[in-house]
Amino acid sequence: MRSSSVGIDEISVAAPRAYLDLVDLATARNIPSEKFTKGLGAVRMAIADRHEDPVALATDAAHSLVFDRERIGFCAVGTETGIDHSKPVASYVHGLLGLPSRARVYDAKHACFGGTAALMAACEWIASGAARGRSALVICSDIARYELGSPGEPTQGAGAVAMIVSEAPSLVEIEVGRSGMFTRDVHDFWRPLHRKDALVDGHFSVNCYLDALAGAFGEWRRENDSSGAPLARCAYHVPYVKMAKKADKHRAGLEGLDDAAAEARFAREVGSSLTFAAEIGNIYTGSLYMALASMLHQEDLRGQRIGMFSYGSGCMAEFFGARVVGSPRGLDACIRNRQRLTFGEYESIRRNEQEGPVTEVETERTAFLGIDAQERRVYRAPGARAISIAA
């Protein structure tokens, strides 16, 4: 049976335990700290250690959701932090969480758009009636990395967002089938197979993002202007906080607002979505959904219509509307009780991160333990003893 009310029933954000303060990075790199804190809007960035890979972060984000595992018939992970050419992150997550075998399980990739690709597929699976009453688990998980000392370095981060997608959701209803889309083949950001650090044509990537926003928002307006309430808030893909400000100003210009009106609108309608990003940094696929979580955590927006803008380099963009139906609390666990790294500790993590043989680690969380003799990845499930998923 087709369903018209589909969306996010639950959401949770997971981030690494440690972070680097951007003032410490600026001091070490001999750059005025205001360039990072005011120029980019970054305060701290989460740093993943060798046990916190995309599978571990994704599993932790999903583990803190309260949901009926037997009702999951779809598990998709959006990621651009590849760990294997073939085996998807979603299979590891499925195994570590003990989800039902009667399910569709895969990864979705298109740079930072991969999470939205997975979310929309889940929504359409449910809206079409194919889910037959079951729910979907959608996770976005990434480690954002650039070369040490490069302009991209202060825009790193790591984390995952997990969402249960269901009929008659209790948090956010997505306006399925009414999105505006834009795509174009560009080389603004890429991650060649032989390297972990992304390469980016930084200023060009900012222009690609803004062009894609104009394209996707323009189509969305043509399709939606005469229907639906005005947008009370807007959440953007946030590669760094200032980019969301540039995006909202660009959208305001398309709507004919002057600079003063745009500035006021940004503070009112976008500000609350940026708190987690300022603390965690870019989490690529999950960045838009972390912005949504940040907004929902701080404001009771029940009954309000919001806009959402997803951008993936390469590039693909989607602008869509949603209606907030719930007001969750406690989504800030991802930025509590973290450990501040010294600059030396940060550099040491970055320089000693080769994936080695299996070693145990003391943690309550999911952990990547290493590679076994058959080159299989070995994980410790949350709250469990070390296990090899492939065994």
φ, ψ of residue 116 in degrees (nearest 5): -70, -35
> In the bound complex, what is the minimum distance in angstroms from residue 260's beta carbon to ligand CAA?
17
Judged by beta carbon, residue 32 or residue 228, the one nearer ligand CAA is 32
* 151 is an interface residue for ligand CAA by CB under 6 A: yes
Pairing of strands 305-312, 172-174: unpaired
Count, in order, helices (H) and strands (E) of the chain.
11, 18
116, 282, 285, 366: which one contacts ligand CAA (CB under 6 A)?
A: 282
CB of 340 to ligand CAA, least distance (A): 22
Q: Say which of 140, 237, 269, 334 is annotated catalytic.
A: 237
Using the contact rule CB under 6 A, the part of the chain among 71-79, 236-244, 301-309, 337-345 near ligand CAA is 236-244
Pairing of strands 18-21, 180-183: unpaired
Angle at CA of residue 382, ends 379 and 383, nearest 5° = 120
Q: What H or E segment, with its residue span, contains residue 380?
A: strand 377-380
Element (H, E) at 119: helix 114-127
Question: What's the rounded Cα separation, in Å, for the pair 52 and 379?
Answer: 10
Q: Any catalytic annotation for residue 110?
A: no
Instruction: By CB under 6 A, tell whether 182 contacts ligand CAA.
Output: no
Question: Which parts of 10-39 interact with ligand CAA (CB under 6 A)?
Answer: 32, 34-35, 38-39
Using rule CB under 6 A, residue 157 touches ligand CAA = no
Q: Are 215 and 222 in contact (CB under 8 A)?
A: no
Whole-number Å distance between alpha carbons of 272 and 296 = 8
Chain position whose Cβ is nearest to ligand CAA? 39
Strands 72-78 and 189-190: unpaired
State the helix-helix crossing angle for 343-351 and 22-29, rounded to 10 degrees.
80
* Pair 108, 119: CB distance under 8 Å: no
Instruction: Tell me the window of 18-26, 52-60, 65-73, 237-245 that interacts with ligand CAA (CB under 6 A).
Output: 237-245
Q: Is-catalytic flag, 194?
A: no
Within the chain, what is the greatest distance between any pair of CA atoms? 62
Helical (H) or strand (E) element with 307: strand 305-312
Contact between 203 and ligand CAA per CB under 6 A: yes
CB of 161 to ligand CAA, least distance (A): 14
Q: How far is the CB of 119 from ligand CAA (least distance, A)?
A: 17
Stretch near ligand CAA under the rule CB under 6 A, chosen from 11-19, 101-109, 150-158, 324-332: 150-158
In angstroms, rounded to a whole number, what is the distance separating the alpha carbons of residues 388 and 370? Answer: 10
Indicate if 85 belongs to the active site: no
Q: Which of 75, 112, 123, 234 is catalytic?
A: 112
Selected from 209, 266, 276, 319, the binder of ligand CAA by CB under 6 A is 209
The CA distance from 52 to 158, in Å, is 9
Nearer to ligand CAA, 205 or 224 (CB): 205
Tell me if 95 contacts ligand CAA by CB under 6 A. Answer: no
Residue 239: CB minimum distance to ligand CAA, A? 3
Residues in the site for ligand CAA, rule: CB under 6 A? 32, 34-35, 38-40, 112, 151-152, 155, 188-189, 200, 202-203, 205-206, 209, 237, 239-240, 242-243, 282, 284, 311, 313
* Catalytic positions, written as ranges: 80, 112, 237
